[in-house]
Amino acid sequence: MGLTKLVLKRPVTTVLMILCLVVFGLQAFMSSPLELMPEMNMSMIVVMTPYPGASPEDVNDLVTKTVEDQVGTLSGLDTVSSMSRENVSITMLEYKYGTDMDKAYDDLKKQMDLAKVSMPDEVEDPIMLELNANLMANMILAVSKDNTDNLYNYVNDDVVPELEKLSSVAEVSINGGSQEYIRVELLPEKMSQYGVSMNSIATDIGSADLAYPAGNADLGDQQLAVSTDQKFDTLETLQDIPLTVSGKNTIYLGDVANIYLGEDDTTSIARYNGQDTIAVSVTKQQDAASLTLSSDVNDVIEELTAADPDLNVTVVMDTKDNIMSSLTSVFQTMIAAIVISMAIIWLFFGDIKASLIVGSSIPVSILASFVLMNLMGFSLNVITLSALVLGVGMMVDNSTVVLESCFRATTDTGFREFSKAALNGTGVVYQSVVGSTLTTCVVFLPLAMLSGMTGEMFRPLGFTIVFCMVASLISAITVVPLCYMNYKPVEKKTAPLSRPVEKMQQE
């Protein structure tokens, strides 16, 4: 009651404070990130350790068991599960909720470095992947180009680096097509003639002053990966690499091998509208907004296509579209709820000013909720905006009860001054409104206190509804009586639903 009395006594100051709240609310709304779902910390890391050519039994004995023994002493670890498949070991580590995942990742990296020492030399470096809701690709691009010898190489060399430069991009991956390599097909009879081995040839190629994706050296069923350092222009350059042989004779790679351009084995196929293409998946940084990522990537696409008219890039999937569609639907529902609420108020009271009073209190409550949500670090997503939609219906309750009580104070007690009627009417239902609001908050507050993954999902829902209810309570005992005093609405007996309701009461 003291707050209501102060508001009615200082209307100008109150209006200025409401305007400040509107400004802060709009600022909070504009600065809040737009996402499809709340950010969720899954507290899980997957370790994939490749062991090319190994059977599941060898992978289990030589890799998986070593990894399990090494990570078993990590702090904060809850459960460890693993799978041993042909060529790869997969270990999933689930941590206790609340574990610092950055520190957990660093500790795991150290343990995996130690475990790698005990594994066979053929085992490749482990790949560690921290699972979270942002791992899914945010954008998928279909890339095609006319007049190019190898589309995969072009995308990998010219398109991917431009995307990886963006601060909003965490990862760029390619699917479809096959990478062009230099193929070195060794000739066994020539190798025997000159007394050179496959390993020595690979070493000589690797130490050469060259650079190109050199691919593999093939000898029958054996295949050895080859890498070089600097770029060369022709196959003849590679043929002239000197090889180490016993004696003083000098031979060259072209003497013991056939060298030609070839394509790597195709591991994935991408098609768009029936045409072969390269699919480029772009994943955003965890702290980057999806809308920012979409804008940045589209800017890069425009620059690339402007520089090369033969390049065609189509955005096949963009989470921004899903986000905007979902948020637009929620906003439309919210606006419809406000309009319908105002219409129902008019049907009962018959005065458009009464509808405007309730209608003006709802946006103030929503903007106040935006401020509180921003302070809590919540994004605007389907969960929080759905909570706002639920909150709108409950916001109307408090404002309607206070407004109806103000009408009763005017007609029943004979207050001719609307300020006194507003104060008296609010006072009559003050305790009831506060009690009902607190009861509703108590119902939803447990959602805000949930822990674990469930809490990650529903905590914003619970807090947002509580924010809406608290904001609607303050709005009902401040904005509604202030507007009632200034608008001076009159309850009309000719209201469309007034007489039917009276007849129902009489019966």
pLDDT band with cut points at 50, 70 and 90 for residue 435: very high
Are the C-beta atoms of residues 72 and 34 closer than 8 Å to each other? no
Higher-confidence residue of 461 and 224: namely 461
pLDDT value at residue 326: 75
pLDDT tens-place string over residues 114-157 = 999 889 888 998 988 877 665 678 899 999 888 777 788 888 88
Contacts of 274 (CB under 8 A, 6+ apart): none
| pLDDT value for 386 | 84
Across the beta sheet with 127-132, what order do the strands follow? 77-85, 88-95, 41-50, 127-132
Give me the pLDDT at residue 230, please.
46
Q: For residue 192, how many other CB atoms are within 10 A of its CB?
A: 10
**Confidence bin at 26 (pLDDT 50/70/90):** very high
Instruction: Pull the structure tokens for residue 307.
Output: 């520089």
Residues 474-492 pLDDT 10s: 999 999 999 988 888 887 7
Q: Which residue has the higher pLDDT, 83 or 233?
A: 83
What residues does each domain of the chain span?
A: 2-31+351-491, 41-132, 180-263
pLDDT confidence bin for 223, thresholds 50/70/90: low
> To 10 degrees, the CA torsion angle through 447, 451, 456, 460?
30
> Is residue 271 over pLDDT 70?
yes
CATH code of the domain occupying 180-263: 3.30.2090.10
pTM of structure: 0.67
Q: What is the CATH number of domain 41-132?
A: 3.30.70.1430
Average confidence score pLDDT of the chain: 83
Band of the pLDDT at 228, cuts 50, 70, 90? very low
pLDDT 10s digits, 368-418: 999 999 999 898 888 888 888 888 778 888 888 998 888 888 876 665 678
Residue 390 is predicted with a pLDDT of 83
pLDDT at 388: 86
Top pLDDT among 451 and 387 is at 387
> % helix / strand / coil in the chain, to the nearest 5?
55, 20, 25
Cβ–Cβ < 8 Å for 143, 313: yes
How does 12-34 read in b/e, with b if 16+ C-beta sit within 10 Å? eebeeebeebeeebeebbeebbb
Query: Which tokens sit at 337?
Result: 């709820």
Of 161 and 183, the structure prediction assigns the larger pLDDT to 161
Per-residue pLDDT, 177: 75
Tell me, which fold does domain 2-31+351-491 have in CATH?
Answer: Multidrug efflux transporter AcrB transmembrane fold (1.20.1640)
| Highest averaged pLDDT of the listed ranges 183-192, 282-291, 392-401, 459-468 | 459-468
Average pLDDT estimate for 150-174: 88
48-67 confidence digits (pLDDT tens): 999 988 889 999 999 999 99
pLDDT tens readout for residues 71-121: 988 888 889 999 999 889 999 999 888 788 888 889 999 999 999 988 988
Q: Report the pLDDT value the prediction gives residue 212, as an integer from 0 to 100.
A: 44
pLDDT tens digits for range 288-325: 888 889 999 999 999 999 998 888 899 999 988 888 88
Helix (H, G, I), strand (E, B) or coil at 275: strand
Q: Range with the lowest mean pLDDT among 168-182, 340-354, 426-440?
A: 168-182
- pLDDT above 70 covers a percentage of the chain that reads 88
Please enumerate in sequence order all residues whose Cβ is within 8 A of that of 403, keeping only pairs 6 or more positions apart, or say none: 345, 349, 354, 357, 358, 480, 484
Q: How confident is the model at residue 245 (pLDDT cuts 50, 70, 90)?
A: confident
Confidence grade of residue 171 (pLDDT, cut at 50, 70, 90): confident
Task: Using alpha carbons, list the distances in angstroms from residue 150 to 146, 153, 269, 490.
Answer: 10, 6, 15, 78
Q: How confident is the model at residue 429 (pLDDT cuts 50, 70, 90)?
A: very high
